[in-house]
Chain A
Amino acid sequence: MTTMETDRRGGVAADEAGNGRTRPLAKVVAYAALAVLSLLFISPLLYMLATSFKTTADAASPVPQWIPADPSLQAYETVLNTDGTPVVRWLVNSFASATLQTLLILVTASMAAYALARIEFRGRGVVFAIIIATLFVPPVILLIPNYLIVGRLGWLDTLLAVVVPGAAGAFGVFFLRQFFLGLPKELEEAAFLDGATRWRTFRSIVLPLSKPALVTLALLSFLTNWNDFLWPVYVLFSPENQTLPAGLSTLQNANAVRYDLLMAGAVIASAPVLLLYVLAQRYIVEGVGRAGLKG
């Protein structure tokens, strides 16, 4: 990887030398294209933010206001204080659901991945093959039966329904196993010879060495759960038990064209993930990029 890094830098230098004349123009064109694209991506979000601070009348005005003529917190006040659409509860539910599921995934997937990467025992190959095979099963096949299973467990319309079943996916196990296989074995073997148990080796050597992979998996899991839509829409029916995405649907049904309220709800739903994204952008974006290279 390091050699590639150097190669790339060397290559860029050569590129600049080779095409010295075309460079400035190409740069102008590229920057112009980027400016237009950026506008396309950022302006809808800015407009969402602007509308959330508008009065009901201004939000419904056919003349766009990029800056609210009469800035007001009225939409937030309404959205946060209406009984049928308890946005604060949704926020709490989303946080609880995403956090608990992320923890569940980190614990179960890291343990399983360690067994599959490092411990040699009969049946391991078969277990791994079955787990990997399910990566190719379309999730919709599991939708109806899982709904019935969750119903039989008495979990419908509870937090457990959006925390537990989603943690059973094979991605985390696959992702961490790949990472563990790339770790040098020597440290673990040394600890082993010193009489450390498997569990101790795992806890105090493997996990600390795997921090980048664990952080990436945690972020991707959190975002996936936070944004999950179809499942919560069908398994959570009481307004007070919904997560934010399902809640936005409820909010939309209750306020068809009250866009001030809808945008306030959308801002509340996006602020936490955007903040997380700003803080951990590299992990998330590079985690996704790397996933492609492995595929």
Chain B
Amino acid sequence: MADIAVNRDALAKGAAATTADAGARAARTASTSRRDRRDGWFFLVPYLLLFTVFVIAPAGFGLWISLHDYDYTLPEKPFVGLENYSGLISGDSPFAAPFWQAMQGTAIFTIASVPLLLVLPLGVALIMNAKFRGRNFFRALFFAPYVLGVAVVAVLWRYLLDTNIGLINHYLGDAIPWLTQENTAWASLVGVTVWWTLGFNAVIYLAALQDISPELYEAARMDGANRWQQFVNVTLPGLRPVLLFVTSVTIIASVNMFGQSYLMTQGGPGTETRTAIYQIAETGLTSFNSGLASAMSLIFSVFLALVSIAVFFAFRERDDGSRRRRRPTSGEARGR
């Protein structure tokens, strides 16, 4: 698919379409290419209008705001250079402490939730990958919470986790302050997020599992591989491309966590469970300190970019390693 795309783009770039192909393209005249240009832009314009106003313009505008002491409720918005950034990085800005605490909160949440969201859905997908009656029903069931959205899920779980009348404490026979103490609050936020999004990752895993050729398993069995060896040598390598996708999507979702904290703990106790997004939104949209909030979002994005690069390289290295290990079993089966 991607190859085709590249080739066709290359064709478009090589301005003289006639030289690209001798046959059908030779018939193309100057007037068709003029018409193509007109049609092309005609079809693009409605989307490009939206795209320019709400994606390109804000991207540039955000950078510009971050260099100003920008409060839209005030008439003066003086240029301050990199002061917003340096204030946050050096800790001089009054918003620096809450910002870094929120960044730390995001890190805690991400480190706690991502491994669970990579492993548990894989387990569920493996169970569902066996052929049995009602598989589609279970698949739909596990995916259902994701369809509900964060507001419903958070409001529901705040009730179930209520210290005094919550279902969870009733069955535990305890009075654990799930949402009002730092450690338990993080555990609750992570647990609810796993409950909410497990089905999403499981569905992606399941589609990938069903895409692995059964012949590979057969070949592995003929080589005397047991279930575990089959999992390590056939299943995991087969999941590798999708694993990168699931890991990236899960990390991105986790670092962007907002609604769970906003509704379940209100960022508390104190501001312990405020996340970076929460802090940026409050700084920019409640305190109207837009310049500082934009600087925060750019610093946040730099961290996210670093994490993404790290994930990419981690997968690339493992890529080489496992391909070498995998060769003996997959060598016998036909390649895909």
Contact = CB atoms under 8 A, between A and B. Distances in A.
A145 B203 CA distance: 35
B147 A165 contact: no
A295 B245 contact: yes
B215 A11 contact: yes
B70 to A, nearest CB: 8
A202 to B, nearest CB: 7
A48 B156 contact: yes
Given A12-B214, A120-B36, A125-B13, A149 B58 contact: yes
Interface in A129-153: 130-131, 134, 137-149, 151
Given A44-B156, A125-B13, A270-B152, A168 B53 contact: yes
A134 B55 contact: yes
A9 to B, nearest CB: 9
Interface residues on A, range: 35 or more
Nearest to B164: A62
Contacts, number: 333
Nearest to A138: B301
A208 to B, nearest CB: 17
A7 interface: yes
Contacts of A30: 127, 130, 132
Contact of B143 (A120, A147, A285): A285
Given A34-B138, A281-B140, A292-B246, A128 B9 contact: yes
B102 interface: no
A41 B142 contact: yes
Given A60-B165, A143-B284, A137 B59 contact: yes
A7 B215 contact: yes
Contact of A44 (B53, B160, B210, B256): B160
A230 B4 contact: no
B211 A285 contact: no
A141 B59 contact: yes
B280 interface: yes
Interface in B293-316: 293-294, 297-298, 300-301, 304
B85 interface: no
A270 B46 contact: no
Contact of A26 (B130, B138, B244): B130
A14 B139 CA distance: 24
Nearest to B49: A108
A25 interface: no
A138 B304 contact: yes
Contact of A140 (B8, B15, B36, B297): B297
Interface stretch (A70-78, A81-89, A110-118, A210-218): A110-118
A175 interface: no
A127 B43 CA distance: 13
Interface string B65-92: 1000000100000000000000000000
B17 A120 contact: yes
Given A10-B214, A277-B144, A144 B149 contact: no
A9 B60 CA distance: 52
A248 interface: yes
B150 interface: yes
Interface in A252-295: 252, 257, 259, 262-263, 265-266, 269-270, 273-274, 277, 281-282, 284-286, 288-295
B1 interface: yes
Interface string B273-302: 000110011001110001001100110110
Interface in B31-66: 33, 36-37, 39-44, 46-48, 50-51, 53-59, 61-62, 65
B207 A122 contact: no
B99 interface: no
A64 B164 CA distance: 11
Contacts of A168: 47, 50-51, 53-55
B145 interface: yes
B26 interface: no
A151 B290 CA distance: 13
Interface in B196-251: 199-200, 203-208, 210-211, 213-215, 217-218, 221, 241-242, 244-246, 248-249
Q: Give the interface centre of B15, B47, B58 by most chain A CB atoms within 10 Å.
A: B47
A126 B280 CA distance: 32
Interface stretch (B108-116, B182-190, B258-266): B258-266
Interface in B146-203: 147-152, 155-160, 162, 164-165, 167, 170, 195, 199-200, 203
Given A14-B214, A168-B50, A229-B150, 19 more contacts: A40-B195, A41-B145, A111-B47, A122-B12, A138-B297, A149-B54, A164-B54, A168-B47, A170-B51, A181-B1, A181-B8, A229-B262, A234-B281, A234-B285, A249-B263, A252-B158, A284-B143, A284-B147, A292-B203
5 interchain residue pairs of minimum CB distance: A11-B214, A227-B149, A289-B207, A292-B204, A295-B245
